[in-house]
A and B are shown apart, each in its own frame.
Chain A
């Protein structure tokens, strides 16, 4: 009996000790967890606070114009009539244009640097491309205004109008500043983002996927297509979303090259206006309450559009992901 008791107690002691220790560890874990949770909640709170604040300032304009605000292209501070359709259109079209131009270029750059270029060249060029992201947007704006716009006006736009003028998108006089110029400048600004993220994604593709393709007798291009691109579709979509997010909200450079015309023109070469550039142009001068409220409403819309586009993209990613998992054995 005595011996048994002794054995039991000696068995128990280390267990108690270790349990105590474990509890301490848990306490640390909990502190860490709550700190992180607080930080995360704070970010969420800031987001909600901004949305609510914007909404409150927008209320007078929303009450006054109702849903028509989004569909009307009439923006006339003198007569106190406000409609944001032209700016929503300008924001969406210039950003989509930017993605359409930047996406193939970024993908090409990323593939070239990761798959084809010798390592030295790749790191040098990669560094330069990433440096593009560090240039202040006002510098892009200046460059767009003094270099890109004149070239587009005198060379590219006349050519497009001549050969593709039968398409309404390419009709009308070449202005130089306008929707298309904004798209081009935005494209250059988001290329480093998209290509840098794509490079990371390509780098993360396991060697085994490439080897699978190679061992099947794939050529270099086929290996890239089958073993690299195929495995990174979701990530590339993510890269495009981030680029799009940047393009939607970009203000300074766009304001300088888009021509600031408060109307919807079918031609891409005509001047236009985005939500962000409208705010930059008019906020300082707005004195009338309704005007200020209308501008806040535009800000709120910009917030919503960014939010919706990001959500849509997330939804796409989620759907593709869940489809890939479908039928998986738990």
Chain B
């Protein structure tokens, strides 16, 4: 695989919840148009880490971040950088689908655009359709765009959330266990989607499912107790990891 440029990079990132030191000195690189999977046992800090990438971590009362996160080479934690502008460029999809319950399917997808100041109906329509197509949901909802987002099935809601995140064309998309609440068919659909989407966005995905990581990611990072143990090509992590702790985890000896 041809090496692409580094779009996102962390340098010695530390994250705290009050006195709890949840993430320790994590340095990672994410290349554009790749999928990077974050794996590790529950509580090792995967969610915390990806939430430092779009400045969501600091929304938790008492939480703070140290270190640098470079998006296209510039530090998103530099004083004076507005977290709002960062979150518009780095989309996020959560474990539990969370469409806005009082908004229609259309308005859910258009929400980010409206926040960014787009008003023209024709523009919104175009982008909503494009995003729903990208999220492989268009055919299922094109006749009921005015129905509430929460009227969809769980898997459809999660794809709606993906469409909502994609609508503002973020170069990076973070996904925190996006399929852990879904049935196998919905999961397969989203996995397929992730592999297609990487042509357009860089994806960082947290998963508990190692088969999933093996199927869809180019790189895999293994986390343990707040530290990033190793990150490598997925094929290498799952065949000959360098660290014995990674090997133990992958072979199911703990975690």
Contacts and interface: CB of A to CB of B under 8 A. Distances in A.
Nearest to B108: A212
A217 B153 contact: no
Range, interface on chain B? 20 to 34
Interface stretch (B16-24, B94-102, B210-218): B94-102
B102 A230 contact: yes
Given A208-B98, A327-B144, A216 B56 contact: no
B116 interface: yes
Contacts, number: 83
Q: Which of B85, B88, B92, B98 has most A Cβ within 10 Å? A: B98
A200 interface: no
A137 B152 CA distance: 49
Contacts of A222: 115
Nearest to A233: B102
Given A209-B100, A326-B151, A216 B94 contact: no
Interface in B30-88: 54, 56, 59, 84-88
Contacts of A230: 100-103
Nearest to B89: A217
Given A218-B115, A233-B102, A324 B94 contact: no
B98 A209 contact: yes
B164 A216 contact: yes
A72 interface: no
Nearest to B144: A327
Interface in B95-149: 96, 98-103, 111-112, 115-116, 144, 147-148
Nearest to B60: A207
A50 to B, nearest CB: 38
Given A215-B92, A217-B168, A227 B85 contact: no
A217 B147 contact: no
B150 A324 contact: yes
A33 B56 CA distance: 48
Contacts of A211: 56, 59, 94, 98
Contacts of B164: 212, 216
A329 interface: yes
A255 B111 CA distance: 49
B148 A215 contact: no
Contacts of A265: none
A167 interface: no
A230 B101 CA distance: 8
Q: Which of B99, B115, B116 has most A Cβ within 10 Å? A: B115
Contact of B168 (A216, A227, A327): A216
Contact of B87 (A208, A214, A327, A329): A214
B110 to A, nearest CB: 11
A319 to B, nearest CB: 14
Contact of A231 (B102, B112, B151, B161): B102
A92 interface: no
A111 interface: no
Nearest to B59: A214
Interface in A177-228: 206, 208-209, 211-219, 222, 226-227
A212 to B, nearest CB: 4
A interface secondary structure, majority: helix
A6 interface: no
A324 B92 CA distance: 25
A184 to B, nearest CB: 32
B178 interface: no
B165 interface: yes
A218 B111 CA distance: 9
A328 interface: yes
B171 interface: no
Contacts of A227: 100
Interface in B141-189: 144, 147-148, 150-153, 161, 164-165, 168
B37 to A, nearest CB: 20
B91 interface: yes
A209 B87 contact: no
Contact of A217 (B94, B103, B116, B151): B116
A17 interface: no
Contacts of A329: 151-153
A216 B98 contact: no
A328 B151 contact: yes
Interface string A115-126: 000000000000
A22 interface: no
A218 B55 CA distance: 13
Contacts of B96: 208
Contacts of B98: 206, 208-209, 211-212
Given A208-B98, A324-B151, A325-B151, 10 more contacts: A208-B94, A211-B56, A212-B100, A212-B164, A216-B115, A217-B86, A231-B100, A231-B102, A324-B101, A329-B152
16 contacts: A211-B59, A212-B94, A212-B161, A213-B100, A214-B59, A214-B87, A215-B94, A216-B88, A217-B86, A217-B88, A217-B116, A231-B101, A231-B102, A324-B101, A324-B150, A327-B147
Which 6 A-B pairs give the minimum distances between C-beta atoms?
Answer: A217-B88, A215-B92, A208-B98, A217-B87, A216-B112, A327-B151
